[in-house]
Amino acid sequence: MNDRHPRVIRFVNAELVKLSGDRSTALVELERRTGDSYRATAEGAGTDAGGLRCVAQAAAEALRRAVRASQPLSVDDVEMLQPFGRPSVVVAISVQCQDYSGSLVGISQADHDPVKATVRAVLNATNRVLGVG
């Protein structure tokens, strides 16, 4: 039996596209239980690390729109790590909202898709503070 409450905000899709000139762009889509959809894009360096940072920035912006936060969610850092020998994405995010101001950390096992893991790590970092988990 699953006693978990459904997520308020659900991850729908994430894409990372390498552009010419050593740049990349990310598109992230999130959805509320009501069916409202929130998309955001970000552009950055075309390196692997730069691409994941783009994804995290797009995810943070889509999430900000979904929770109607007036302050931005700042992506401080994104790293691929190997805790316990498992590839994982770790994000650090600065948040200023309602009753909380500070840094949050989220992690998600990357398996075969670090782009999707990056979005999940952003959501994992913010889920309790923003009430989206």
Query: How confident is the model over 28-49, as pLDDT tens digits?
Result: 999 998 899 999 999 999 899 9
Q: What is the pTM of this model?
A: 0.91
Q: What is the mean pLDDT of the chain?
A: 90
- Count of domains in the chain? 1
In a domain, 91, yes or no: yes
Residue 1 lies in a domain: no
> CA 33: distance to chain centroid?
18
- Contact between residue 70 and residue 47 where contact means Cβ atoms under 8 Å apart: no
**Comparison of pLDDT for 112 and 98, the residue scoring more:** 112
Q: Is residue 101 part of a domain?
A: yes
The answer to whether position 38 is within a domain reads: yes
Domain assignment present for residue 114? The answer is yes
Helix (H) or strand (E) holding 41: strand 37-45
**Which residues, other chains included, contact 58 with Cβ-Cβ below 8 Å and sequence gap of 6+?**
14, 26, 27, 28, 40, 41, 42
In a domain, 37, yes or no: yes
pLDDT at residue 68 in the model? 86
In the three-class reduction of DSSP (H, G, I as helix; E, B as strand; rest coil), residue 5 is classed as coil
For residue 86, is it left (φ>0), alpha (ψ between -120 and 50) or beta? beta
Type of residue found at 100 = Y
**Which residue segment(s) compose the domain that 15 sits in?**
9-130
* CATH number assigned to the domain comprising residue 91: 3.30.160.270
User: Which residue in the block uniquely carries the two structure tokens 């840094």?
Assistant: 103
How many CA atoms lie less than 13 Å away from 87 in the CB half-sphere? 10
